Amino acid sequence: MPSVYDSKPWLKSYPQWLPQSLPLPEKSVLDEFIYSVENYPDDPCIYYFDNTYSYKEIYQKANALAQALHNMGLQKGDRVICDMQNIPQVVISWLAIWMCSGIVVPLNPMFKLKEMEYYLNDSGAKLVICQEDLYEPVFKPLSDKIKELKIITTSPLDFIDKNLGVPSQLASCKKLLFDNTYDLIKLIEENENTSAVIPPKKEGPSVDDTAFLVYTSGTTGPPKGAILTHSNIVHNAKVYEVACRLTREDVILGVAPLFHVTGIVAHVAIGFHLGIPIVLYHRFDPKDTFELIQKWKVTFTVAAITVYIALLNHPDVTKYDLSSLTKAYSGGAPVSPSIVEKFKNTVGCYIHNVYGLTESSSPATITPLGLEAPVDEESGALSVGLIIPGHEAWIVDLDDPSKEVPFGEEGELVLRGPGITKGYWQKPEETNHAIKDGKFYTGDVAKIDEQGWCYIVDRKKDLIVASGFKVWPRDVEDVLYQHPAVKEAAVVGVPDPYRGETVKAVVSLKEGYKTTPEELIEFCKQRMAAYKYPRIVEIVDEVPKTATGKFLRRLLRDKK
């Protein structure tokens, strides 16, 4: 029996200029970079605070580091952990690893010793490139355990020209050197005059080779390394290109962490594909963000909604010229329509919604540039966009995935297409559970309307069942965001002896605003069904989040 979703209703909502599918990639991410080096050698590749590095300069440094890695024994298929903030060395390290046909394992610099031990063991990596401040607390104890582990360290100051000034964000940084580690800058300097080209073109990674093992956030269990091929990455970089109408005139703000799939695809891979600059600045800071958008005339970014909220609530938001930013996208967490409206009115830029997962190589749905996503009349939720070119989607019954649900009804979102992972690293059981017949079962509850607009309701695991009634956290969060004092809101279900579960909201307030839990409860009570409004409200300085801006609901549920 044919599926109603086989008609691909989202295609009828595509603007005329958006292609329905894209050719499968013929180049690896490395090939894309080398193409830009050959065609735009002197164009800027990376702006790092006030410093500029051309495509040719980044290539030369990556090639020198690749020679060093080759001499250290790095071979095809070997995994290398990269554990840094958003600094140029991240990009240089990735390129060098691919030049040796290795696999990049990007990790969050906030991980502690115990967490890092898991990733080392799971990935089987024997080489680490990390920031120097992570060596003594994290990697030195691990190197004492794993004798064959080789560690390369680098400083955020290494690519700062002190004549241009040290950014305030890095004022407390110091260059550190250690026994039993390699210094990245020294490795580059020692090999910069090499005549060898790493790799010989015939030995470079193919489009079907693994480019990254990107670990899931672990919100539903132990983190899993999603296998993302060069083809996955390049295809979805092209999706951003066509859907966001990116050209050689654009400048990318690299605000998403580069260890996250958004930073990988929506920042670096697009930059390589088009040969355009990426602005990096170590860590997100509102004031630095304003200054760098103004200085480098940034036009495009993809950021968590918490980034836009932080900018919107900063007292200096109207003091800078942010008019160049015309292609703003947000993904990774639910986006409230009220925040989108406030940002548009304050900054002059509409935030286009996008939805994706690690396993979908970033975008799975997207709002094409110039279109404003509709708001669901029933829930008030903003659509996350249309299914991306070349991909298919289905909504299936939450209890019986073999049954599809009609347009407009809630169920689990299922995806298939060239951006989808082929599985999890050395986890066949988890792979077989998530991927069947090439279809990836996302675990996200969604609905698709007859025009093809997709709405994410919530994660299956985040569903709250209060007195037998289903409550989706984002429904409550959207109401809380309508209160003038609320900056951030995260809703979870907590055990209740009478109702089974009850609704709890954890909120932070805008600077200068005051309210009480009782007032917020009453505010919600007046605006939603009796079973939905929160019975518990906790006001905190900041709602706990992952580094990519997702609320740590598991932590909030466990919090006493």
DSSP secondary structure string for all residues of 234-272: HHHHHHHHHHTT--TT--EE--S-TTSHHIIIIIIIHHH
Tell me which residue has tokens 């951006």.
419
pLDDT reading at 461 higher than 80: no
Q: What is the mean pLDDT of residues 200-214?
A: 83
Q: What is the mean pLDDT of residues 8-22?
A: 96
Q: What is the mean pLDDT of residues 444-466?
A: 83
Q: What is the mean pLDDT of residues 201-206?
A: 70
> According to the model, what pLDDT value does residue 558 have?
67
pLDDT reading at 442 higher than 60: yes
pLDDT reading at 335 higher than 90: no
pLDDT reading at 109 higher than 80: yes
pLDDT reading at 537 higher than 70: yes
Q: Which of 7-11, 13-17, 334-338 has the lowest mean pLDDT?
A: 334-338
pLDDT reading at 469 higher than 70: no
Backbone φ, ψ for residue 151 (5° rounding): -130, 130
> According to the model, what pLDDT value does residue 110 have?
86
CA distances from 407 to 371, 404, 441 (A): 21, 9, 18
DSSP secondary structure string for all residues of 187-235: HHHHHTT----SS-GGGSPPTTSEEEEEE---TTSS--EEEEEHHHHHH
> According to the model, what pLDDT value does residue 178 have?
92
> According to the model, what pLDDT value does residue 399 have?
84
Q: How confident is the model at residue 486 (pLDDT cuts 50, 70, 90)?
A: very high
Q: Which residues contact 534 (CB under 8 A, 6 or more apart)?
A: 476, 491, 503, 504, 505, 520, 521, 524
Q: Are 123 and 105 in contact (CB under 8 A)?
A: yes
Q: How confident is the model at residue 200 (pLDDT cuts 50, 70, 90)?
A: very low
Q: How confident is the model at residue 201 (pLDDT cuts 50, 70, 90)?
A: very low
Q: Which two tokens stand for residue 6?
A: 């086989």
Per-residue pLDDT tens digits for 35-55: 999 999 999 999 999 999 999
Q: Which two tokens stand for residue 453?
A: 């607009």
Residue range(s) of every CATH 3.40.50.12780 domain in the chain? 29-36+53-205
pLDDT reading at 498 higher than 80: no
Q: How confident is the model at residue 457 (pLDDT cuts 50, 70, 90)?
A: confident
Our CA angle for 448, 450, 453, nearest 5°, is 45
Q: What percent of the chain has pLDDT over 90?
A: 73
The average confidence (pLDDT) of the chain is 91
Q: Are 184 and 207 in contact (CB under 8 A)?
A: no
Q: Return the axis-axis angle of helices 29-39 and 88-99, rounded to nearest 10°.
A: 110
Q: What percent of the chain has pLDDT over 70?
A: 93
pLDDT reading at 197 higher than 50: yes
Residue range(s) of every CATH 3.30.300.30 domain in the chain? 463-558
Per-residue pLDDT tens digits for 261-314: 999 999 999 999 999 999 999 999 999 999 999 999 999 999 988 899 889 989
Tell me which residue has tokens 């066949």.
428
> According to the model, what pLDDT value does residue 305 have?
85
Q: Which two tokens stand for residue 73?
A: 């024994």
CATH number of 463-558: 3.30.300.30
Class of domain 29-36+53-205: alpha beta
- The DSSP element (H or E) to which 352 belongs, if any, is strand 351-357
